[in-house]
């Protein structure tokens, strides 16, 4: 049963939520650190050991062969293939708008050239979840922006199924979106392989993609040694609804994210107690009818909640404080309200934009920051696969004109070597 939290207890709920965000990661660091270290030292041997332990399969060759990809194209449902192609088109069109050009300019009247160069990251590793469900949509969401950025080598990892294979839709999505190599490994061990390299898996410069708490914690741990996109852990949905919203739709949308993981978090904020009670009943009714009811129930009972705010203004303040991965605005004035949202991974407007529209199809990226990191992180984008390098040119005249300022600054910092690098030049 979902918790209904009244106004006087909301601040305790928010405090608990924030503590739990940190605690969830602290709880797995010991396991994750051990896995990272074992893979760093024992490489493929450790990868195979963990794949047997966590995915229940003995893997001989970690890399997916061209024959397996060919087979995937022959077994995939033709209608699903068409859907993947349509989604690919939408995701491509959306992300093409993010492509950057770089720039160069000469300050007026000066013989100076300044600029910003854009270069793709040469090797990117993308993580595609495959534990409780397999995610071909995540292949598209990661590989397409990488490809648009111009990444030369895209290495994909994903956990194998019990038969040692990767689902055909994942292989087809990877092939259609230009992934170069695919490896059958997931979890923290897969992240370690991408970060440190093994005999089979090349080390990459940046790792992107979502995953469960073990994957997200591993990315956090290797960050700095290798680039990461963000913390994209167990899914979250926050729904802000007014008293006119449809309780059945709200419950269904909360369930849509709860079914990802026992650790997923689905929260409703409304000022209407009557709506809250209807949603609670709807949740009970709908959960029973669904295949993944066990996961959903755990997620809703342990991480779900309905908060009763005193006004719509408080609903929005709380949404900004929670900074959810997904925010649905089920209110009649959603086109006004979204302008007050400062912290959210993605915003869904109105009752005909349920969150799965974004998960699969609309075009914006579904790899999004969780655990309140939307306060400082953004949706995955082409920017995650590029680097910016500054370009600076001063002519002799330009240096002569500015030398006193530069020397003065250097001497103030006590860095006479810096000052000397300017003074030594014959101007
Ligand atoms: N934030 C986002 O953008 C976003 C997008 C899609 C999915 N997700 C999330 O991705 C996750 C997918 O999770 P999943 O589990 O289905 O797949 P996954 O691929 O992320 O994780 C499966 C792997 O976890 C490891 N693992 C499982 N139990 C373990 C244990 N006890 N100790 C050590 N390692 C263990 C195993 O190696 C296994 O292969 C969900 O939490 C979902 O909500 C988030
Ligand atoms: N909702 C997930 C992001 O939290 C993305 C996804 C993929 N497939 C289904 N859903
Ligand atoms: Zn989803």
Nearest bound ligand to the CA of residue 360:
2
Q: What is the mean pLDDT of residues 256-266?
A: 97
Residue 326 bears catalytic tag: yes
Mean residue pLDDT across the chain: 97
Residues 70-110 have pLDDT tens digits of 999 999 999 999 999 999 999 999 999 999 999 999 999 99
Do the annotations mark residue 127 as ligand-binding? yes
State the Cα–Cα distance between residues 115 and 73, nearest whole angstrom: 45
Residues 190-215 have pLDDT tens digits of 999 999 999 999 999 999 999 999 99
Q: Which atom of ligand 1 is nearest to the CA of 232?
A: 1
pLDDT of res. 65: 98
State the Cα–Cα distance between residues 100 and 105, nearest whole angstrom: 16
Q: Which of 262, 209, 155, 143 is nearest to 369 (CA)?
A: 209
* CB neighbourhood size of 316 (10 A): 22
Which residues are registered as beta bridge partners of 182? 156
> To the nearest whole percent, how much of the chain has pLDDT over 90?
99
> Domain 26-232 - what CATH class?
alpha beta
Do the annotations mark residue 111 as ligand-binding? no
**Do 2 and 300 meet the contact criterion of CB atoms below 8 Å apart?**
yes
pLDDT of res. 300: 98
Please list the residue range(s) of the chain that carry CATH number 3.40.50.1980: 26-232, 235-361
Does 235-361 carry CATH code 3.40.50.1980? Answer: yes
**Do 403 and 376 meet the contact criterion of CB atoms below 8 Å apart?**
no
Angstrom CA distances, 73 to 50, 82, 170, 174, stand at 29, 12, 10, 11
Query: In a 3-state reduction of DSSP, which class is residue 14?
Result: helix
- If one residue of 32, 47, 54, 131 were mutated to test the ligand 1 pocket, choosing by the most ligand atoms within 8 A of its CB, it would be 131
Q: What is the mean pLDDT of residues 221-231?
A: 97
pLDDT of res. 54: 98
Residues 140-180 have pLDDT tens digits of 999 999 999 999 999 999 999 999 999 999 999 999 999 99
ipTM of the complex: 0.99
Phi, psi of 380 (to 5 degrees): -55, 140
Q: What is the mean pLDDT of residues 261-268?
A: 97
pTM for this predicted structure? 0.97
Q: Which of 240, 184, 179 is nearest to 208 (CA)?
A: 179
Strand locations in 287-357 (E): 305-308, 326-330, 346-349
Residue 325 bears catalytic tag: yes
- Which residue CA neighbors atom 10 of ligand 2 most closely? 359
């Amino acid at each position: 049963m979902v918790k209904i939290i009244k106004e006087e207890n909301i601040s305790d709920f928010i405090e608990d939520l924030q503590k739990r965000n940190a605690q969830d990661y602290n709880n797995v660091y010991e396991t994750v650190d051990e896995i990272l270290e074992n893979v760093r030292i024992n490489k493929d041997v450790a990868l195979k050991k963990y794949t047997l332990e966590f995915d229940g399969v003995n893997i001989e060759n970690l890399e997916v062969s061209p024959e397996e990809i060919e087979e995937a194209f022959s077994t995939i449902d033709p209608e699903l293939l068409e859907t993947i192609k349509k989604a690919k088109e939408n995701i491509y069109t959306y992300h093409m708008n993010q492509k950057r050009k770089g720039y160069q300019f000469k300050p007026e009247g000066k013989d100076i050239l300044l600029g910003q160069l854009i270069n793709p990251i040469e090797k990117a590793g993308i993580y595609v979840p495959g534990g409780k469900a397999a995610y071909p949509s995540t292949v598209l969401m990661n590989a397409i922006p990488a490809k648009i950025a111009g990444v030369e080598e895209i290495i994909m990892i994903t956990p194998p199924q019990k038969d040692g294979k990767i689902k055909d839709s994942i292989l087809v999505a990877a092939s259609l979106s230009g992934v170069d190599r695919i490896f059958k490994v997931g979890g923290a061990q897969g992240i370690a392989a991408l970060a440190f390299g093994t005999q089979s898996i090349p080390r990459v410069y940046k790792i992107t993609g979502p995953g469960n708490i073990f994957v997200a914690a591993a990315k956090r741990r290797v960050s700095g040694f290798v680039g990461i996109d963000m913390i994209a852990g167990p899914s979250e949905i926050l729904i802000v609804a007014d008293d006119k919203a449809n309780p059945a739709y709200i419950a269904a949308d909360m369930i849509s994210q709860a079914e990802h993981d026992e650790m997923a978090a689905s929260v409703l904020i409304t000022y209407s107690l009557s709506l809250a009670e209807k949603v609670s009943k709807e949740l009970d009714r709908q959960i029973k009818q669904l295949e993944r009811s066990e996961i959903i129930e755990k997620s809703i009972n342990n991480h779900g909640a309905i908060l009763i705010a005193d006004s719509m203004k408080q609903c929005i303040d709380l949404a900004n404080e929670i900074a959810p991965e997904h925010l649905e605005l089920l209110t009649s004035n959603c086109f006004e309200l979204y302008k007050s949202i400062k912290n959210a991974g993605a915003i869904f407007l109105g009752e005909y934009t349920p969150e799965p529209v974004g998960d699969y199809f609309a075009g914006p990226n579904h790899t999004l920051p969780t655990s309140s990191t939307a306060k400082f992180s953004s949706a995955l984008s082409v920017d995650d696969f590029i680097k910016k390098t500054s370009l600076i040119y001063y002519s002799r005249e330009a240096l002569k004109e500015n030398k006193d300022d530069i020397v003065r600054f250097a001497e103030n910092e006590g860095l006479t070597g810096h000052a000397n690098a300017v003074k030594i030049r014959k101007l």
